[in-house]
Amino acid sequence: MNLYVGLPDSEILQLLTSISRELVCLHESDGTYLYVSPNAKSIIGYEPEELLGKNPYDFFHPDDRRLIFERSHQPILKGEEKINPTFRFQHKNGSYLWLQSDNRLIVHPTSGKNYIHTSSRDISEKIESEANLALSERKFKTLFRDSPIGLVLTSKQGFIDEVNESFAKFLGYEIFELLGKHFSDISSEGELEENLRYRDSVQKGMIDHYAIEKQYIHKAGHLVWAYVTVTVLRDDSGHPIYYLAQIIDIDERKKTERLLLENNEHLKATKNSLLIQNKQLQSYNQIISHHLRAPVSNLRSLIDLLKLTKSEEERIELQNHLEAVTESLETTLSELITTLKIQSLEHYHPEWISIRDTFAKVEKLMEGELLKKKVQIELNVIDKETVYVSKDYLETIFLQLLSNSLLFSEPSRTLRIVIESFSIGNETTISFSDNGTGIDLSRYGDQIFQMKKTFHRQMSGKGLGLFLMKYTMESLGGRVEVKSKPGEGATFFLYFPNQGNNL
């Protein structure tokens, strides 16, 4: 049997076991050490001599003794093979090591006595790292499952691998209903493009995480706002394996935000309308002072004079004046009532009105005068251009502007009128230009739209048209501007809001 001639069996054994990383021992059937390999010192801290005659049960961790006895020691004695117990063994320094053994039964060929042969290695490091891994996995699982924040793990293709209860609940699903879905199935169209753009940047390794506000589709069909932070988990070579999304419910916040914005808009509109109303009230104050109080004080003066006079001739003269003042007062009153009617918008029925058609109708109405004066009209308006206004209003405005231009045309040249329209944002603008006498705006700019203001001595304009036009425009939420140079004509800009009025 001995191939190594000249070397006793024991020395060969010594040689082999000393270079091995395994602790090799021979035990009596009750466990007592008969042989301990020389590397014992480096593994368990004891010299072999310190262990001979002792029983390993004294070094096993108390919790493991019973296990070793029942699962390893006994079965071996019964002849079972491949027994590989893992157990804790106390090092000489007092700490416990994790050992794993190959144990087998050796029967003496002559005496038939049972021995146990063990070959053990220190697996403490492996056990610890496994334990740590298991622990961190357990920690992650617990965190994932119990987090109040919605968590979703998606594959790099975007399919949902895992979701937690918070997220499922947020969207009204059961967890299992979400598994396997693609994240775009539960995302609203709104922010999807942005989301995909970010994922693409992650895929290319440009970024490792991103955060967006997006809307998910709730199981019930409505959209819910969420703040989503997505982190990528990469493999060792840097390729994304998983995306972990953390989802915070910000639906309430968003709704409040939207409400605030709406309220803000509403307040702005109210403020504007109040500003306009305030201006209109000031204007009314002026009107009442000049156009009502003035004739009334004339009436008072005339009546006072009437009382004093003794001449029949003078009495008749005063009576004629009284009549004239009363008539003009009646006219002024009815004009005021007209403006009040416009302002109240009681009969205001706005619709989308074609600028081109309306102007054509007004042009037709004034055909005679336009032909007589050989007026050139250029209408640069797109066929489909419309404004949101009542038909009568737009007709009246065009009538006013046309008669204004005719009234203030420069006799030395052909009257040319250009009408253009353009839309910017929520506003459609109509510009109305002529090459008439124009208005000195540095002098009359603040008066042009006031009641009964005329700027041309030779003209007997009532000064009501522009005033009414401004009122009309402001009442329906728009405005009017004028640009002009004396001698070069005037351009009126009418700004129409595209959705109803703000009043």
Partner 1 sequence: MTPRICIIDDDKIYQFTTKKIISNAGITGEVLVFSDAENALFFFQEQSQNVSKLPDIIFLDINMPFMDGWQFLEAIEPIHKQFPKPIQIYLVSSSVDEADTERAAKIPYVSGYIFKPFTKEKLLDSLAHLQS
Smallest CA-to-CA distance from 400 within 441, 359, 458, 356 is with: 359
- Choice between 218 and 453, CB closer to partner 1: 453
How does DSSP assign 230-292, residue by residue? EEEEE-TTS-EEEEEEEEEE-HHHHHHHHHHHHHHHHHHHHHHHHHHHHHHHHHHHHHIIIII
Would you say 133 and 127 are in contact if contact means Cβ atoms under 8 Å apart?
Answer: no
* Joined tokens for residue 418: 């250009």
Q: Which of 12, 106, 324, 337 binds partner 1 (CB under 8 A)?
A: 324
- Choice between 214 and 291, CB closer to partner 1: 291
What one-character DSSP code corresponds to residue 366? T
Q: How far is CA 112 from the centre of its chain?
A: 85
- Choice between 32 and 454, CB closer to partner 1: 454
Which residue stretch of 220-228, 318-326, 364-372, 401-409 sits at the interface with partner 1 (rule: CB under 8 A)? Answer: 318-326
Smallest CA-to-CA distance from 87 within 72, 74, 108, 75 is with: 72
Burial of 459 (0-12, 13-18, 19+ CB in 10 A): exposed
Q: Which of 188, 454, 491, 498 binds partner 1 (CB under 8 A)?
A: 454
The Cα–Cα gap between 189 and 197 comes to: 13
Interacting residues of 453 by C-beta distance below 8 A, sequence separation 6+: 444, 447, 463, 467
- Choice between 155 and 454, CB closer to partner 1: 454
Q: What is the closest distance, in whole angstroms, from the C-beta atom of residue 468 to partner 1 in the complex?
A: 17
Regarding 486 and contact with partner 1 (CB under 8 A), the answer is no
Regarding 250 and contact with partner 1 (CB under 8 A), the answer is no
- Choice between 99 and 325, CB closer to partner 1: 325
- Choice between 284 and 495, CB closer to partner 1: 284
Regarding 68 and contact with partner 1 (CB under 8 A), the answer is no
Regarding 336 and contact with partner 1 (CB under 8 A), the answer is no
Q: What is the closest distance, in whole angstroms, from the C-beta atom of residue 257 to partner 1 in the complex?
A: 43
- Choice between 190 and 445, CB closer to partner 1: 445
**Residues 290-309, interacting with partner 1 (CB under 8 A):** 290, 293-298, 300-302, 304-305, 308
| Coil, helix or strand at residue 217 | strand
DSSP alpha helices (H): ranges in 345-446? 355-365, 367-372, 391-407, 441-444
Residue labelled with tokens 């918070």: 166
* Joined tokens for residue 103: 């144990």
Q: Which of 170, 243, 449, 455 binds partner 1 (CB under 8 A)?
A: 455
Q: Across-strand partners of 159?
A: 182
Regarding 65 and contact with partner 1 (CB under 8 A), the answer is no
- Choice between 261 and 303, CB closer to partner 1: 303
Regarding 441 and contact with partner 1 (CB under 8 A), the answer is no
Would you say 493 and 484 are in contact if contact means Cβ atoms under 8 Å apart?
Answer: no
Q: What is the closest distance, in whole angstroms, from the C-beta atom of residue 407 to partner 1 in the complex?
A: 15
Count of residues binding partner 1 (CB under 8 A)? 28
- Choice between 54 and 290, CB closer to partner 1: 290
Regarding 228 and contact with partner 1 (CB under 8 A), the answer is no
Q: What is the closest distance, in whole angstroms, from the C-beta atom of residue 282 to partner 1 in the complex?
A: 9
Q: How far is CA 211 from the centre of its chain?
A: 12
**Residues 460-479, interacting with partner 1 (CB under 8 A):** 463
The Cα–Cα gap between 347 and 391 comes to: 12
Each residue 264-293 as x (binds partner 1 by CB under 8 A) or -, in order, gives: ---------------------xx--xx--x
Would you tell me which residues interact with partner 1 (CB under 8 A)? 285-286, 289-290, 293-298, 300-302, 304-305, 308, 321, 324-325, 443, 447, 452-457, 463
